[in-house]
Structure 1
Amino acid sequence: MVDYLERAFPTRQMRVFTDDTGTARSEPMTDDHGNPVYNPQAEAARAGLIEHICALPPIAAALDGLLEHFGHDHVAEVTGRTKRLVSTGGGAQKLESRSTRSSQADAAAFMAGTKRILVFSDAGGTGRSYHASLDVVNQEQRVHFLLEPGWRADRAIQGLGRTHRTHQASSPLFRPVTTDCKGELRFTSTIARRLDSLGALTRGQRQTGGQNLFDPADNLESEYACAALTSWFHLLVNGKLQSVSFTEFEELTGLELTDKDGILKEDLPPIQRWLNRLLALPIDLQNRIFDEFLTLVETRVTAAREAGRLDVGVETMLVDDATILDDTVLRTDPLSGATSHLITIEVARRRTPVSLERILRIADADDASEFLINGKSGKVALQVQARSLMEENDGTPIPRVELMRPTRREYQRVADMFETAWKPILREDFAERWAAEADEAAQTLERETIRIATGLLLPIWSALPSDHLIVNRIATADGRSWLGRMVYDEHVAHLYTKLGVDRADNLPADQIAKSVLSGRSVDLVRPFAITVKRAIVNGKPRIELVGAPAAQLPWLKSLGAFTEIIQFRTRVFLPVAEAELILGKILEPT
């Protein structure tokens, strides 16, 4: 830091002059002999700052801080350094030399359980394994804290792989470590983006790179973050933000957002430049700006998740057992013979509930937490604070809470909580009910039926639904797995129709009705060729039968359909509430 101040602190005296266009400019001053002129006040300020910094107590590096806190006898160090300071008691320290054998001995002590803590770096991670191997004494679950990950994603993956391997007693818990300075998210975000990119390049799926360490909202360079930054710029120019004013932001960052007429520029600064300029701001101001920006990112990510458009790559669904109920060939490639399939699988799996001890620790750590019980179902939940959303038009915050349940979590707006059946409950009653729910969930084998499109998917990708972009790998305990796009009930009939698979008529009437109400039309050929689709009449949704023969109108009306003449054309509709029943009658074999 002192070297940086000596080289970069501005001490050169500047001279203001007017160029040929009448614009005031500045340039460094020189004397009559061409020597640079320095400002004595700036030199004195630099000297005073260096003197103050050198008088401050030194800050221990992360590695030395860990060794000093836990003790050298309890921490195994596997790094590349050859010397280190070791405390001898009474405040004295001695210089200790280290060799390759020292690192090997420390690694062996950790695997044997003699030393409970292991600290390793890039130099100490190559070619070594620190996982809970079934062949070593120390088989406790590893809690891997990712500290100072650096800039190279491949190195980060290599380090994470040291504690997560086959033939292990348990998989590790990964914990990325950051401070309260929100600017540090700039660096962890870059790691998240590069891990995702590396996984996509090396394994064809982003999850392989990121190892599920990061949420889509953690990537500050994603499409959601870029769109959120544009919204942030608009709110800033319109004076809707609380963190900083437009004038103050331009002065502090040097970013020009408007043209000479005060109109927001079309070519706004990219998010990388914006993030880098924020790092130079005071910490408190950084945190306030990041809080508003991350709120906008969370708003967009939440909206995409609720709409089914959030692309999180491949998600692995671990199940205890899976049974194929149906396998329909959707398409056969005429050249290669490769096939595309829609597989119906019944899966059985046990949930892993949150333990009572862990939920109570979370409650004690959050002063705003509250124990709740649902007056209708009798289920309990822990209410904790969640990141707010934000109205992108006026910047109004939308407070939210998170309801933590034994097997899942959900988010609710604070304003909507008053309309729910959740009410407070005593801690003792909450603990009793939570333990009972967790035990029941752990012992219950849940079964559900899912459908995935698998095989050669690229030729039929356009026929698959544009929403709910979920790619799953279903893996069983005995090693079987299926990889493909999830297809929900309301999508099946439309998928068959679009690909020309003669199966739509064989689908249950309820699936056809769900598909139509979700906006996807279905073609039927039995008992006659008609198209079932959703129509909006007088602002209300209806189910319409398009192409019904005129001679069949009395029969359709006898089943419960009704007709209306709209713009001189007779149209046939089904009552939404009775659509499934009527469709079932229409599809009954004659």
Structure 2
Amino acid sequence: MTFFRDDTGEVRSRPLFDESGHPVTNPEAEAERDNLVEQLCALPPIAAVLDAIITRFGTEMVAEVTGRTKRLITVSGGGQKLESRSARATQADSAAFMEGTKRILVFSDAGGTGRSYHASLDAKNQQQRAHLLLEPGWRADRAIQGLGRTHRTHQACSPLFRPVTTDCKGELRFTSTIARRLDSLGALTRGQRQTGGQNLFDPADNLESDYAKAALISWYHLLVAGKLTSTNLTDFQHRTGLELLDTDGVLKEDLPPIQRWLNRLLALPIGLQNCIFDEFLALVEARVAAAREAGTLDVGVETMTVETATVLDDTILRTDPVSKATSHLLTIEVTRRRNPMSLERVLRIADTDQTAVFVRNGKSGKVALRTNARSWLTEDGVAVSRIELMRPTRHEYLALDDLYETAWEECSRARFETDWSAEVEEIRGKLDVETIRLATGLLLPIWSALPSDHLVVNRVVDAEGRSWLGRMVFPGDVPALFSKMGLDSNDVLSPAEVARAAMEGGTITIQRPFVCEVKRVRVNARPRIEISGAPANQLAWLKSIGCFTEIIAYKTRVFIPVETADAVLARLMA
């Protein structure tokens, strides 16, 4: 090749020819090309997923329900032969799977209509199905059609769904579309988003949500400011063809939408894709986590499965004057059995994660598995390193800098196994009893009176199949709700509920024996329960029932001992 400048000054290239008009070639380049072609031709062909599964497990173990009429199968001698398939063959394979003769079933869109592969009570094979969702495509209705084949009524157990992806972050483009369309389809078909997705995807998986769109705007600003480590503005614009600056060199107001941004990233090298997605997902997860902590994360309907549910009280909040429909506040006592993570599963995670460390809390004596979590990016582009603590019943996330201020210390594997097993056995041996309040019935007229910091809609389902749908109302919000609805708020909360609500950070107003507020405060770096607004002439009586006073900043304040808060509040509210 020879290089030259055109009339505009741009450097261009063209083939180089000798004096006889023959093209000039580079022998070294030709040798490298021939060697590369030779190596490529020597590589084994990449088998399709379906053929690879059949080759690995054999036709005796794999039932195939697809639309293809021919397939290559491997015979005993190592050779291959072409086998024809008819509709009767697919029916026989389907029946063999339901009878348990064949342990693996592979079906496609063609085999996902009008058939059932669930653990039916009428079938011989009633084992739990592990449904691997591979290459789901773009259409959410087809994804639901396939998932519905293994999850139906009259089944012995529900299936285990597992969407399969690789470590190429560009695949998030496809799973994100499925997540968004599953939610949209659920909202259209049943009036609730959770019906479509069934919580199969995390809110952070939807890369077309409002959180992702806001994160992309921040990503653009960080890119222009040169604060990203994955790429720079010049290289990104050259590789993707996206123009982010106007003629004045200022970031455009009409920036490329997230769908176009995701599509352009698919053309980038995989290593660069992963780096860009890591930084972008750090921004998305930071926003989703903030919304979840603030109680404003919209996740549709969350199902709370309990062992038993008993309605203790039913208070009518409002009756519609026209339709006579009512709004209720139900007080329900629920009994739940927690499902802890088994020791085998956590050890399997520890063996496959190179960052895993066994830790033990020196104060509580509990153990956890510490792993590295995805870092967050601040609005200034500063990466905040985080770690994840896996506990038997929950996961906790901490900033790496905050970890050194806790009591978590490394421990041996043997100590971890012993303490983890003991905690799991303790959890499995007891039931958690909790009293909850659920606003149900006609909610739209009273929606503004309900707490604005917890917008999740819950469905409570017990073992007998009974269910209640509504919004959760925490104890600290009940007096305010009754006040807004014009109802008497006396005796709404028990003394124990007032104490618990106060310790959780709420402020509870009580009317008897005088109007005052019960709230949590910190004095000398320790939490206390304070009675705010107590009359001065009641100090002696308050001290006689168990309260104590303290003069702070020349003001007498009344406190309730945390250890005996229930008993003291019972005397106060009697």
TM-score (norm 2): 0.84
What do residues 107-149 of structure 1 show as CA deviations (whole Å, max 9, x unaligned)? 1111122211110011111111111222222222111000011
C-alpha change, 1:573 and 1:70, in structure 2 (3 Å) is farther
C-alpha change, 1:544 and 1:170, in structure 2 (3 Å) is same
Do the aligned residues in 2 keep the contact of 1:206 with 1:314 (CA within 8 Å)? yes
Aligned to 1:155: 142
1:285 correspondence with 2:272: yes
Aligned to 1:493: 479
Kindly provide the amino acid, as one letter, of the partner of residue 378 in structure 2: E
Aligned to 1:225: 212
1:369 correspondence with 2:367: no
C-alpha change, 1:234 and 1:226, in structure 2 (3 Å) is same
C-alpha change, 1:194 and 1:108, in structure 2 (3 Å) is same
* TM alignment of 1:105-124, pairs within 5 A: 105-124=92-111
> Whole-Å Cα distance in 1 between the matches of residues 131 and 570 of structure 2?
60
Aligned to 2:455: 469
1:452 correspondence with 2:449: no
Alpha-carbon offset, residue 276 of structure 1: 0.8
Aligned to 2:416: 430
Do the aligned residues in 1 keep the contact of 2:119 with 2:125 (CA within 8 Å)? yes
> Whole-Å Cα distance in 1 between the matches of residues 193 and 431 of structure 2?
30
> Whole-Å Cα distance in 2 between the matches of residues 505 and 71 of structure 1?
69
1:442 correspondence with 2:455: no
Aligned to 1:266: 253
1:197 correspondence with 2:205: no
Aligned to 1:412: 398
SS in 2 for 1:122: coil
1:302 correspondence with 2:289: yes
SS in 2 for 1:124: coil
* TM alignment of 1:15-414, pairs within 5 A: 55=41, 58-393=45-380, 395-414=381-400
Alpha-carbon offset, residue 293 of structure 1: 0.3
Aligned to 1:12: none
C-alpha change, 1:242 and 1:139, in structure 2 (3 Å) is same
C-alpha change, 1:519 and 1:330, in structure 2 (3 Å) is farther
What do residues 157-195 of structure 1 show as CA deviations (whole Å, max 9, x unaligned)? 111111112222221111101111101100100000000
C-alpha change, 1:527 and 1:358, in structure 2 (3 Å) is closer
Do the aligned residues in 2 keep the contact of 1:379 with 1:433 (CA within 8 Å)? yes
> Whole-Å Cα distance in 2 between the matches of residues 432 and 588 of structure 1?
46
C-alpha change, 1:585 and 1:372, in structure 2 (3 Å) is closer
Kindly provide the amino acid, as one letter, of the partner of residue 452 in structure 2: S
Alpha-carbon offset, residue 533 of structure 1: 10
C-alpha change, 1:578 and 1:424, in structure 2 (3 Å) is closer
C-alpha change, 1:522 and 1:504, in structure 2 (3 Å) is farther
Alpha-carbon offset, residue 245 of structure 1: 0.6
Deviates most, 298-307 or 183-192:
298-307
Deviates most, 503-512 or 73-82:
503-512
Do the aligned residues in 1 keep the contact of 2:187 with 2:196 (CA within 8 Å)? yes
Do the aligned residues in 1 keep the contact of 2:530 with 2:560 (CA within 8 Å)? no
Q: Which runs of 5+ in 2 are unaligned?
A: 13-22, 522-528, 543-547, 550-554
Do the aligned residues in 2 keep the contact of 1:516 with 1:532 (CA within 8 Å)? no
C-alpha change, 1:161 and 1:350, in structure 2 (3 Å) is same
Deviates most, 70-79 or 425-434:
425-434
Deviates most, 364-373 or 423-432:
423-432
Alpha-carbon offset, residue 326 of structure 1: 1.4
C-alpha change, 1:436 and 1:324, in structure 2 (3 Å) is same
Kindly provide the amino acid, as one letter, of the partner of residue 465 in structure 2: G
What do residues 236-285 of structure 1 show as CA deviations (whole Å, max 9, x unaligned)? 11111100011111111121222222222222111111111111111111
What do residues 361-398 of structure 1 show as CA deviations (whole Å, max 9, x unaligned)? 111111111112222222221112222222222x1211
> Whole-Å Cα distance in 1 between the matches of residues 573 and 113 of structure 2?
67
What do residues 195-245 of structure 1 show as CA deviations (whole Å, max 9, x unaligned)? 011111111221111122100010000111111111111111111110001
Do the aligned residues in 2 keep the contact of 1:494 with 1:515 (CA within 8 Å)? no
Deviates most, 78-87 or 378-387:
378-387
SS in 2 for 1:127: coil
Do the aligned residues in 1 keep the contact of 2:501 with 2:507 (CA within 8 Å)? yes
Alpha-carbon offset, residue 69 of structure 1: 2.1
> Whole-Å Cα distance in 1 between the matches of residues 342 and 162 of structure 2?
19
SS in 1 for 2:93: helix
SS in 1 for 2:110: helix
Alpha-carbon offset, residue 496 of structure 1: 1.0
Do the aligned residues in 1 keep the contact of 2:476 with 2:507 (CA within 8 Å)? no
Do the aligned residues in 2 keep the contact of 1:542 with 1:573 (CA within 8 Å)? no
Alpha-carbon offset, residue 524 of structure 1: 7.1
Do the aligned residues in 2 keep the contact of 1:132 with 1:140 (CA within 8 Å)? yes
> Whole-Å Cα distance in 1 between the matches of residues 492 and 254 of structure 2?
54
Alpha-carbon offset, residue 523 of structure 1: 7.5
C-alpha change, 1:263 and 1:573, in structure 2 (3 Å) is farther
> Whole-Å Cα distance in 2 between the matches of residues 40 and 559 of structure 1?
106
Do the aligned residues in 2 keep the contact of 1:527 with 1:586 (CA within 8 Å)? no
> Whole-Å Cα distance in 2 between the matches of residues 130 and 341 of structure 1?
41
Alpha-carbon offset, residue 428 of structure 1: 1.8
| Moved segments of 4+, more than 3 Å | 15-18, 51-58, 504-528, 530-534, 541-545, 552-562, 572-581, 583-589
What do residues 13-63 of structure 1 show as CA deviations (whole Å, max 9, x unaligned)? xx9889xxxx99x9xxxxxxxxxxxx999xxx9xx99x9699575422221
1:478 correspondence with 2:464: yes
Alpha-carbon offset, residue 554 of structure 1: 5.5
Do the aligned residues in 1 keep the contact of 2:128 with 2:159 (CA within 8 Å)? yes
Alpha-carbon offset, residue 514 of structure 1: 8.1
What do residues 494-547 of structure 1 show as CA deviations (whole Å, max 9, x unaligned)? 11111111225654577678879999887777678x79699x9xxxx99875xx
